[in-house]
Amino acid sequence: MLNHVVLIGRLVRDVELRYTPSGIAVANFTLAVDRQRSKDKEKEADFIPIVVWQKQAENCAEYIGKGSLVAVDGRIQVRTYDDKEGNKRWVTEVIASSVQFLDKRGQKTEQEPQNVSDIGTEVEFSSDQIPF
């Protein structure tokens, strides 16, 4: 049996980071993923809840936000709980095993590069600036 999902999309809001009572980081965000469409249909998207744990959760909260383009690799989880009125609720979400940041935080979705000559320019940085 196989339960594996790979998604590429944009965050619809900033990452929500919290900690369990035992101090483990958990982050939640919703990913908008475009659907395949024919040329006469309007653009459609699915909005998929993502859960990330531990250090990856803290990195997501620090380095990505609303509008960020990310790739998520993980598994689908379906769980139930009882709400305040005692009704059973179902939740389907993706538990991420890795999240790759595909653009800079806050980069606009429709914005073109301001200076085309800057594309592909090497940037120097030290190893302590890498978040992983």
For the entire predicted model, the pTM comes to: 0.74
How far from each other are the two terminal CA atoms of the chain, in whole angstroms?
Answer: 31
**Rounded-to-integer distance, Cα 78 and Cα 18, Å:** 21
Cα separations in angstroms, 34 against 2, 8, 43, 51:
24, 9, 7, 19
Using the structure block, give the residue that is written with the tokens 């606009």: 108
Using the structure block, give the residue that is written with the tokens 């249909």: 41
- Of 30, 25, 29, the closest CA to residue 58 belongs to 25
Number of domains the chain contains: 1
Using the structure block, give the residue that is written with the tokens 């990330």: 52
Range of the domain at 56: 5-129
Task: Give me the helices (H) in 1-132, please.
Answer: 54-63
- CATH code of the domain in which 24 resides: 2.40.50.140
**Rounded-to-integer distance, Cα 37 and Cα 67, Å:** 21
Residue by residue, pLDDT tens for the chain (132 residues) are 999 999 999 999 999 999 999 999 999 999 999 988 777 778 889 999 999 999 999 999 999 999 999 999 999 999 999 999 999 999 999 999 999 999 865 454 444 444 444 444 444 545 555 454
Using the structure block, give the residue that is written with the tokens 């940037």: 123
Contact 94, 74 (CB under 8 A): yes
